[in-house]
Amino acid sequence: MKAPLKWLSKYVDINVSPKEFADAMTMSGSKVEGIEKQGEELVKVVVGRIVSLEKHPDADKLQVSKVDVGTETIQIVTGASNISVGDYVPIALDGSSLPGGKKINKGKLRGIESNGMMCSIQELGYTRYDFPDAAEDGIYIVSEEILKEKYADAAKALGKDIREAIGIDDTVVEFEITPNRPDCLSIVGLARESAATLGTAFRKPDIKVNESGGDINEYAKVEIMDADLCPRYAARVIKNVKIGPSPQWMKEFLRAAGVRPINNIVDITNYVMLELGQPMHAFDLDKLEESRIVVRRAREGEIIETLDGNQRKLEAGMLVIADGKKPVAVAGVMGGGNSEICDSTSSILFESASFNGTSVRITAKKLGMRTEASSRFEKGLDVNNVVNALDRAAQLIVELGAGEVAGGIIDCYPGKLEPRVIDLQQDRINALLGTDISRDEMIRILRSVELGVDDKTGRVTVPTFRQDIEEMADLAEEVARFYGYNNIKPTLLPGKEMTRGIKTFKQKMEDRIRETMSALGLYEIYTYSFTSPDIFDKINLPKDSKLRNAVVISNPLGVDYSIMRTTTIPDMLTVLARNYNRRIEEAKLYELSYTYSKDNPRTTQVEGIDESGLPEEIETLTLGMYGKVDFYDIKGVAEGLLAELGITEYEFARETGNPTFHPGRTAVLMIKGEYAGCIGEVHPDVLEKFDISTRVYAGSIEVDKLVASAGHKAQYKPLPKFPAVSRDIAMLVKDEVMVKQIEDVIRKNSGKILEEVSLFDVYKGKQVAEGMKSVAYAITFRAADRTLTDEDVNKAMEKILEGLKNELDAKLRE
Amino acid sequence: MREQLENIKIQAEKELVNAQSIQELENIRVRFLGKKGELTSVLRGMGALSPEERPVIGQMANDVRAILEARLDEAARQLASKERQEKLASEVIDISMPGRKRSFGKKHPLTQVIDEIKEIFLGMGYQIAEGPEIELDYYNFEAMNIPKNHPSRDVQDTFYIDDNVVLRTHTSPVQARVMKTQKPPIRVICPGRVYRSDEVDATHSPVFHQIEGLVVDKGVTMGDLVGTLKEFARALLGENTNIRLRPHHFPFTEPSAEVDVSCWGCGGSGCRICKGEGWVEILGAGMVSPKVLRECGINPYEFSGFAFGMGVERIALSRFNIDDMRLLTENDVRFLKQF
Ligand SMILES: [Zn+2]
């Protein structure tokens, strides 16, 4: 809401600088977004009159003019063609400056001296939106009427600052008004807040209507059919309407408030809306069939052409203003073209009404036309402001000489809304705020924003323009914001029961996961939770994959962000690709985030509220790396993490069927026999689609599965008292034999004295026959109760070697 | 014999002084004091001495042995020390060469900020509560006193799954869930990912993170809210930090405030971080609306509470001096390594 200070000052004394005013208003709850000083950048630009115009001797397109700027007559060379002798124009004098920092100095144009510049409206920093009378292309010719209105005699304007002359010299404060305070979407509402904030007087507009006789009831009738959506509808009739431009002062106010001046009638409706917060509408009375207004729900299929020229198909249930036959406006949203005022209009019916906010909001949304009026109505306007606004408009009609106000008013107001009355309860207010504010002070504050307080009973009467004040907490806020939020003494929950600030086991495990990832050299990433449906093809998922069944966003930012992800691998690959394509040699990354599974609805319930419409959210640890790494690096990360979490009952099983991954280099992680994740080298087909031409290793692990098995109770085991004996063996086995099989055989055959089996070499190549590989282990034996003898160890080794030979056809290498 | 012994002493001492290595010393020891050494051979002639002279000469020989052994030990010590010195001198390295790289990873800057804020509140007795990101409209809006078709919904552009399910626009639904399931005293913070349909640019992201806090107990005051936020701001930004509350409107709190902290860049005199204001807005807060308490089954006559919320990205951006929010989700390794 833009509030021009000159307008605001009609209703409140502002006794401080604009900056101080803005700060004070912000601190009392009317947040100031900005202060605009109109014409701030215009320096030394004055009103001049063209005295003579001659052709430039050496340039066809230039003219040499003499301009009277009050104190002198100066010569200016101009390229403009829309000017004539006698025109009043803005003159940027020698040494002047224009918006954007443009400086104007005297100089010569094609050899002829020029001592300034004539300005277009754009050069003054405005557009034809604000000044519709300005030439589309050329110098802004200031109308003599404007100057006469301001200076009585246009000639007296010569040499005057252009800002003053055309009324662009106000300071405009822009407020951010929260949706609970529609009353502050008005100059009067802001004046009320200003007065309470500054402690100065608030003057309500003095509204008096000079009626010209006749009886409105002879000219028009109003009927409310659907009072649930229209609690009040008031109308006045204006006869002998003279459409024309508004006076300069009104244009200046409107322009400063960001509203385009159009003609006196439209301007009056806008002016009243801005000043009092009540949207209004003017119908051409002669175009209303049967001279009737009927407020009713639309009939299915009814069509109206709105003022913006669009045909709108109405739905049953939308509230319309109709005449005897047809809709003439969408209530609270926009008027219809069929009843629009035009230059030949002679009688108008002014509408000032109250409409149900929710209904207006839904209608505007469905029709796709949020208007200034609808955005006000939807916040819930004061039903008791309706007639006030209507009278203000009638008063302005008379003041502007725009017509004659017919006698009387039609006011359909079936159920009068009474002000809410609540108890002051100053003890509870102080208890909520933690303050010790006296009852008198509270009463003073409440009265300053026009809440009525009965001294004796403490009953607070809340005017109907403050629908936001319903109970004690709301009064507490009113008291607090003028007492000063920052005068409330800080305390720290004194005397409250202790609460325990500790993390849950799961939260601790999440911390440990991150710490372990850091220790293992991985960097954490964050990616969006929504993605494109294309990614399933990119990671080679079969058409019938369950992962394709994603939660879909009904109003996404675009198709690329339209589904909630069911897998995090594509986002990891995208990040790896980005790094790779920026020529970063190595990346080792992880993410801790969620996937969303529509197939598994939530089963939780709180107070019987069904949550099965919500998907299960699966916390996932995603790994990804490229560079000097291979499968065993990503596996090492997984193993390191499992060790850090104290998980021992797990195994990695070969996975050949995951189409995202390399069929020979992928493993699933099974914890206690249950699937917990998958790691591997990413399939080259997939990498191609992500535009990566190096090997990439990735994987994902379900965090809940980790947490469920994580052991957190470390138990001390005595350190060994007797020495260990270590033997190395190397053997040849067929290539397809996995080391896991060899280890299993060793473990099975070595009895109780085995301490550790440790792989130290795998070799394939020249010295080894085709289809075979050499595998070498260090096997450590130890007994808890004695020193092992050679015999003990030899016996164990014999069994191991025999087992390897029999079960895996291994050949011992010497 | 006396003379012989004296000579042995003099001779040995002379050689000792010239000895250059432990080995040379050992040679001297063997030559003079060994089993076949000179001292031993002199002593073999003892038998020719008179019974009176024997103990005298014996004593003398022992003295010579003791002296020489002491000298030898001393010389050995000195030599060892000299050799150690020389070894050290020969082992000088270029300490300006770089240390061996150990590759540690790092937590994302957002995690770092979240962790720091969690720590502060854990220390103040808060627990950490979590809830779903895909949330019922009821918890996200209605329980927070934002009915369907209410203009307040415009403030938070919402992603809808269907009429009843949304991507949560704030972590407040977690507060509602906590209030419905726990009895006061309640002290929780709710960190998490939230969604609003803002186009991506340098200062907006449709996916971002919030941390909200909720305290409900008997007799909780707005003064407690102010004190808590002040304590928090000082812990996060430094002991000299001040806070300022401006009245505002949130449907779920009453009274409501926007909270500024004194600028950590300039301390209040105005700089780029605070756009010359001296204050930076980082929080929204207020006393839990009685409507919300009632909706969550808590009697506002018996209990009161406060709630606050902050955007993690915003704090991270200003804290690390990052000028573009998109960097946080780009995840360039060169960026991630900086924190
Ligand atoms: Zn600053």
Are B49 and B188 contained in the same domain? no
pLDDT higher than threshold 70 for residue A729: yes
Dump pLDDT digits (tens) for B53-92: 888 888 888 888 898 889 889 988 998 898 899 999 999 9
The CATH fold assigned to A505-709 is: BirA Bifunctional Protein; domain 2 (3.30.930)
What confidence tens digit (pLDDT) does each residue in A750-759 have?
Answer: 888 999 999 9
Q: Give the residue among A625, A117, A545, A187 at the shortest CA–CA distance from A389.
A: A187
Q: Which of A501, A527, A609 is the closest to B124 by Cβ?
A: A501
Q: What's the pLDDT tens digit per position in B306-327?
A: 999 999 999 999 889 899 999 9
- Do the bridges between strand B127-128 and strand B186-195 make them parallel or antiparallel, or are there none, so unpaired? parallel
Residue pLDDT, tens place only, A12-47: 999 999 999 999 999 999 999 999 999 899 999 999
| Bond before B255 cis per omega within 30 degrees | yes
- Using pLDDT thresholds of 50, 70 and 90, give the confidence band for residue B7: confident
Strand-strand pairing, A650-654 and A661-671: antiparallel
Q: Are residues B157 and B298 in the same domain?
A: yes
Q: Which of A549, A569, A553, A551 is nearest to A561 (CA)?
A: A553
- Does residue B185 sit in the same domain as residue B308? yes
B114 and B86, same structural domain? no
Give chain A positions within 8 Å (CB) of B295: none
Query: Which among B32, B62, B90 is the end of a domain?
Result: B90
Q: What is the mean pLDDT of residues A599-612?
A: 82
Please name the residue of chain A whose CA is at the shortest distance from the CA of residue B158: A555
Mean pLDDT within A663-668: 96
Q: CA–CA separation, B211 vs B203, rounded Å?
A: 18
Say how many Å lie between the CA of residue A99 and the centre of ligand 1: 28
Q: Does position A329 have pLDDT exceeding 90, yes or no?
A: yes
Cα B11 from chain centre: 67
Could you give the 3-state DSSP secondary structure of residue A257?
coil
Q: What residue of A is the nearest CA neighbor of B297?
A: A607
Collect all residues of chain B within an 8 Å Cβ-Cβ radius of residue A503.
122, 127-128
Q: C-alpha A569: how far from its chain's center?
A: 29
Is B241 inside a domain boundary?
yes
Asked if the Cβ–Cβ distance from A358 to B231 is below 8 Å, we say no
> Residue A91: is it exposed, middle or buried by C-beta count within 10 angstroms (0-12/13-18/19+)?
buried
Cβ atoms of A527 and A574 within 8 Å: the answer is: yes
* DSSP class per residue in A154-198: GGGGTTSBHHHHTT---EEEEEE--TT-GGGSSHHHHHHHHHHHH
Contacts of B304 in chain A (CB under 8 A): 431-432
Residues 6+ apart with CB under 8 A from A543: none
- The CATH number of A43-165 is which of 3.40.640.10, 2.40.50.140, 2.40.50.180, 3.10.150.10? 2.40.50.140
- pLDDT of B36 reads 85
Asked whether residue B52 falls in the same domain as residue B176, the answer is no
Amino acid found at A233: Y
- Fold (topology level) of A725-813: Alpha-Beta Plaits (3.30.70)
Nearest to A473 among B290, B328, B334 (CB): B290
DSSP string for A261-320: ---HHHHHHHHHHHHHS--EEEEEGGGSGGGEEEEEEPPTT-EEEBTTS-EEEPPTT-EE
| pLDDT-derived band at A711, boundaries 50, 70, 90 | confident
Q: Are residues B18 and B138 in the same domain?
A: no
Q: Kindly state whether residues B163 and B21 are assigned to the same domain.
A: no
Asked if A422 is an interface residue toward chain B (Cβ–Cβ < 8 A), one would say no
- B321 within domain boundaries: yes
Taking contacts as CB-CB distances below 8 angstroms, the residues of chain A near B162 are 554, 613
Q: What is the pLDDT of residues B130-150, one digit of tens each?
A: 999 999 999 999 999 999 888
Mutant choice from A485, A593, A604 vs B, greatest count of B C-beta within 10 A: A485
Q: Is residue B103 part of a domain?
A: no
Q: What is the pLDDT of residue A712?
A: 65
Please say which residue of B43, B58, B90 terminates a domain. B90
Q: Using the predicted structure, report yes or no on whether residue B332 has a pLDDT greater than 90.
A: yes
Asked if residue B96 is part of any domain, the answer here is no
Nearest residue in chain A measured CA to CA from B229: A490
* Among candidate residues B90, B121, B141, the one where a domain is terminated: B90
> Is A179 close to B127, i.e. CB distance below 8 A?
no
Tell me which residue in B104, B223, B330 faces A578 most closely, judged by beta carbons.
B330
Contact A523 B106 (CB under 8 A): yes
Residues B156 and B61 in one domain: no
H helix or E strand, kind and range, residue A233: strand A232-239
Q: What is the pLDDT of residue B328?
A: 97
User: Fold match between A2-38+170-198 and A423-487?
Assistant: yes
User: Could you give the residue ranges of the DSSP H alpha helices within A184-263?
Assistant: 187-198, 216-219, 248-256
Quickly list DSSP for A61-89.
Answer: T-EEEEEE-SS-EEEEEE---S--TT-EE
User: Which pLDDT score is estimated for B155?
Assistant: 67
Q: Which structural domain range is residue B202 located in?
A: 109-336
A 491-520 → B contacts, CB under 8 A: 491-494, 496-504, 507, 511, 514, 517-520
Q: Where are the alpha helices (DSSP H) in A600-651?
A: 631-644
Domain spans of chain A, in order of start: 2-38+170-198, 43-165, 211-412, 423-487, 505-709, 725-813
Q: Closest Cα of chain B to A97: distance in Å?
A: 26
**Interface check B182 vs A, CB under 8 A:** no
Pair B239, B172 in one domain: yes
Q: What digits encode the pLDDT tens for the residues A527-572? A: 999 999 999 999 999 999 999 999 999 999 999 999 999 999 999 9
Nearest CA in chain B to A378: B151
Q: Which residues contact B161 (CB under 8 A, 6 or more apart)?
A: A551, A552, A553, A554, B134, B167
Whether B130 and B253 map to the same domain: the answer is yes
Give the pLDDT confidence score for residue B50 in this predicted structure.
84
On average, the pLDDT of chain A sits at 93
Report how far residue A518's alpha carbon sits from residue A588's, in angstroms, rounded to the nearest whole number: 10
Residue spans of alpha helices (H) in A522-607? 535-538, 569-581
Residue B305 belongs to a domain: yes
Helix (H) or strand (E) holding B256: strand B253-262
Q: Which residue of B has its CA nearest to A625?
A: B333
B133/A529 CB distance under 8 A: yes
Residue B153 contacts A, CB cutoff 8 Å: no
What is the per-residue pLDDT for A814?
A: 67
- Quick one: pLDDT band at residue B8, thresholds 50, 70, 90? confident
Tell whether B133 and B243 lie within a shared domain.
yes
B268 & B327 share domain? yes
pLDDT digits (tens, 9 = 90+) for B177-232: 999 999 999 999 999 999 999 999 998 999 999 999 999 999 999 999 999 999 99
Q: Give A622-663 pLDDT, tens digit per residue.
A: 999 999 999 999 999 999 999 999 999 999 999 999 999 999
For A431, which of B160, B164, B221 is closest by C-beta distance?
Answer: B221
Architecture per CATH, domain A211-412, reads as 3-Layer(bba) Sandwich (3.50)
The dotted CATH code for A2-38+170-198 is 3.30.56.10
The answer to whether position B99 is within a domain reads: no
Q: Is residue B304 part of a domain?
A: yes
Write the CATH number for B211.
3.30.930.10
- Name the DSSP class of A336: B
| The total number of structural domains that make up chain B | 2
Specify whether the CB–CB gap between A696 and A682 falls below 8 A.
yes
As a CATH number, domain A423-487 is: 3.30.56.10
